[in-house]
Structure 1
Amino acid sequence: MAANGPKCTAVDCDDANKSLKDPINVAVTGAAGQVAYSLLYMIGRGEAFGKDQSINLNLFDVNSMMRSLEGVAMELEDCALPLVNNILLAPDVETCFKDAAAIFLIGSSVRIEGMNRKSLFQASVPIFKEQAEAINQVALKDVKVLVLANPCNTNAYVCSHYATCIPKENFSALSRLDHNRTKVQIARRLGIPAQDVQNVVIWGGRSGTQFPDIRHATVSYNGVLQSAVSALADEKFLQNTIVTSIQKRNPAILAARKLASAMSQAKAACDQMHDWWNGTRRGEFVSMSVLSDGSYGIPKDIFYSFPVQIRNKKWRIVKGLPIDEFAREKLDASARELVEEKEEALALCEEVDVDQGGTLTS
């Protein structure tokens, strides 16, 4: 099923519209869900790919969500966003991913209360294997794939493993949400804007073992650029308060809102894709879950959040940051968890017929 959105139908296009770049195809799964509801508007506003990049939005969700997805498409049309050239409601992932330059994988299996990790993998692994095969067949070979659906690090690994024609460095899992949260915690503590905090690091995966590290961060504080550690001058905050706060943020939002974080996750996805697409500022690094090359003693071939710098749509892991004993323990704990997840997921890939996959949600 398809719905075609406005193609700059105004008779009097202004100079800004005339200078737009040729449209790129941007695919989103789980597109009728809450995260996508915020994300699609942000993409349409140019917050991911730039204010001069025209886009075709290719949207996919399961059949039971199609009516809701039609409503989302209507709202996007009614926003009259100049960058949105076309909206396609795709009947399958092959159609959704056709010639895609960027893909946001939000749709995943339904997590039922009491479901353990193995049960979640049994439901989600076939979905991401199927999506990877579709990406491999029809997406652009330099496509950038950002996985939001949890367990996102391992889902990204499954995608990269089965999309054999796509470079593995073209897959990433979301870690920018916790990066942003860490910046905000520092900013609130010091009474400064979050934009004045740079170079925090999220190590590991999106779970209770992730480690928000501010030892390498800088802040603009009292008119002086200085280390966050010296500005905070609080060891308890460094080793306990901020770590616990970030690790418990998702449950806190769920308890307060009765729903998982959505707007903040969408903003983080835009931020991560924006930097991947446009590059990081000189002297700045950001957190991004990418395939480990063995840096910092992390096992190779798992998706792990590292500090990265990005140029020409290519990331590189920042090398040589000092890691103390406290941080070492945290990094290793998260790595062990992700290695275990990867091995479990690969075993399930061999056992589960992809045609018996689970139900997509968002």
Structure 2
Amino acid sequence: MTEPIKILVTGAAGQIAYSLLYSIAKGDVFGKDQKLTLHLLDITPMMTVLEGVVMELQDCALPLLKEIIATDKEDVAFKDLDVAILVGSMPRREGMERKDLLKANVKIFKSQGTALDKYSKKTVRVVVVGNPANTNCLTALKSAPSIPKENFSCLTRLDHNRAKAQIALRLNVASDDVKNVIIWGNHSSTQYPDVNHATVKLQGKEIGVCQAVKDDHWLKGDFITTVQQRGAAVIKARKLSSAMSAAKAICDHVRNIWFGTPEGEFVSMGVISDGNSYEIPNDLLYSFPVTIKNKIPTIVEGLSIDDFSHEKMNLSAKELIEEKTSASEFLTAA
């Protein structure tokens, strides 16, 4: 048994965390022999609910879980972290514009980025889930200058998993038989689910998804909009957000950071752009295909991009530039 690692989950009294914490604590993410300490952060009014979550975790009697620290204080929550999973954010309420959402969350993620910089290990891996995830992640990154930029990522794995699942359902195969789908851009309705480089195993052979589906109209139409709008569809049907699938996606994302990606496979996550990949402007937190080794994501280079894809990718980049500008203005004004 190794020394415990310290993992923070923010928004720990919320729906996503309720599905996420058990998976982490029982070893699904960091391995069945990795002891851990859970740091749970939420706002003061949620502390009574969080006490109930702590009781349940205790009652699970999980052998890997050595300590639970539940708090509403950032200096306690961010102390000596190995991994920070930033789930909590101000949710979008009825009548709120995206700019209103950005304004509320800039303050939260500036504060949490500052806390990471001040209290956490410089090797900490930071995953931002709370929406708008890409720009919240950029805000946290900018507020933690002593932590390497490559240590920050945002979650687009739920969109990635949704894209895999739609292809698998269409072809009547297991989702694991579908590999190398890509989510480009923002975790928003401008994201671009791309299967031009994806493969599927059919009758024992790996073939291109486009070749297997044989329906360009669907791939460029309903497939894309279904993935883009899946979160809204779940809310409409369930009257609640997609907490279970989000928690599963977080587990997939963090497990890949911790253990790397399988040979020949890439996954989607939001990482900082350097201006050299696929004509995406410098200094955006943009979802790319990545491979991961030694806990560092590397953008997959050299994929051929057709005009249709370029247009979709640039549209999402444009939205992210606008979000970045707004966030910067809010930070300056604060």
TM-score, length basis structure 2: 0.98
Q: Which residue number corresponds to residue 219 of structure 2? A: 238
Q: Which residue number corresponds to residue 26 of structure 1? A: 7
Q: Which residue number corresponds to residue 182 of structure 2? A: 201
- 2:112, 2:38 → 1: CA distance? 17
Instruction: Give 1:111 deviation, angstroms.
Output: 2.6
Stretches (4+) displaced over 4 A: none
Residue deviations 1:25-47, cap 9 Å, x none?
00011000000000101111222
Instruction: Give 1:286 deviation, angstroms.
Output: 0.4
Instruction: Give 1:225 deviation, angstroms.
Output: 1.2
Instruction: Give 1:272 deviation, angstroms.
Output: 0.4
Query: Are the equivalent residues in 2 in contact too, given 1:172–1:290 (CA < 8 A)?
Result: yes
Q: Which residue number corresponds to residue 343 of structure 1? A: 325
Q: Which residue number corresponds to residue 304 of structure 1? A: 286
Residue deviations 1:5-30, cap 9 Å, x none?
xxxxxxxxxxxxxxx22100000110
Aligned-partner residue type, residue 176 of structure 2: Q
The equivalent position to 2:232 in structure 1, one of 219, 242, 251, is 251
Q: Which residue number corresponds to residue 261 of structure 2? A: 280
- Aligned partner of residue 103 in structure 1, secondary structure: strand
Structure of larger gyration radius: 1
Any gaps of 5 or more consecutive residues in structure 2?
none
- 2:218, 2:31 → 1: CA distance? 36
Query: Are the equivalent residues in 1 in contact too, given 2:7–2:82 (CA < 8 A)?
Result: yes
- Aligned partner of residue 39 in structure 2, secondary structure: strand
- 1:119, 1:182 → 2: CA distance? 29
Instruction: Give 1:63 deviation, angstroms.
Output: 1.1
Residue deviations 1:54-81, cap 9 Å, x none?
1100001111110100000111111111
Question: How many pairs align?
Answer: 333
Task: Tell me: higher relative CO, structure 1 or 2? Use CA pairs within 8 A at least 6 residues apart.
Answer: 1
- 1:338, 1:320 → 2: CA distance? 23
Q: Which residue number corresponds to residue 222 of structure 1? A: 203
- 1:58, 1:285 → 2: CA distance? 30
Aligned-partner residue type, residue 285 of structure 1: F
Aligned-partner residue type, residue 263 of structure 2: R
Aligned-partner residue type, residue 295 of structure 2: K
Query: Are the equivalent residues in 2 in contact too, given 1:103–1:146 (CA < 8 A)?
Result: yes
Aligned-partner residue type, residue 291 of structure 2: Q
Aligned-partner residue type, residue 18 of structure 2: Y
Paired-residue identity, %: 51
- 1:141, 1:79 → 2: CA distance? 32
Residue deviations 1:199-239, cap 9 Å, x none?
00000011111000011001111111111111111111211
The equivalent position to 2:69 in structure 1, one of 88, 94, 98, is 88
Aligned-partner residue type, residue 229 of structure 1: C
The equivalent position to 1:262 in structure 2, one of 204, 218, 243, is 243
- 1:251, 1:203 → 2: CA distance? 19
| Aligned-pair Cα RMSD in Å | 0.8
The equivalent position to 1:48 in structure 2, one of 3, 11, 29, is 29
Instruction: Give 1:164 deviation, angstroms.
Output: 0.9
- 2:311, 2:72 → 1: CA distance? 46
The equivalent position to 2:127 in structure 1, one of 108, 128, 146, is 146
Instruction: Give 1:198 deviation, angstroms.
Output: 0.5
2:109 is equivalent to residue 118 of structure 1: no
Query: Are the equivalent residues in 2 in contact too, given 1:128–1:158 (CA < 8 A)?
Result: yes
TM-score, length basis structure 1: 0.91
Query: Are the equivalent residues in 1 in contact too, given 2:9–2:87 (CA < 8 A)?
Result: yes
Query: Are the equivalent residues in 2 in contact too, given 1:47–1:271 (CA < 8 A)?
Result: no
- 1:293, 1:110 → 2: CA distance? 30
Instruction: Give 1:110 deviation, angstroms.
Output: 4.0
Q: Which residue number corresponds to residue 182 of structure 1? A: 163
Q: Which residue number corresponds to residue 166 of structure 1? A: 147
Instruction: Give 1:112 deviation, angstroms.
Output: 2.2
Instruction: Give 1:52 deviation, angstroms.
Output: 1.8
Query: Are the equivalent residues in 1 in contact too, given 2:47–2:71 (CA < 8 A)?
Result: no
Q: Which residue number corresponds to residue 327 of structure 1? A: 309
Instruction: Give 1:91 deviation, angstroms.
Output: 3.3
277-286 or 43-52, larger mean C-alpha shift: 43-52
- 1:186, 1:112 → 2: CA distance? 32
Instruction: Give 1:120 deviation, angstroms.
Output: 1.3
Query: Are the equivalent residues in 1 in contact too, given 2:112–2:140 (CA < 8 A)?
Result: yes
Q: Which residue number corresponds to residue 7 of structure 1? A: none
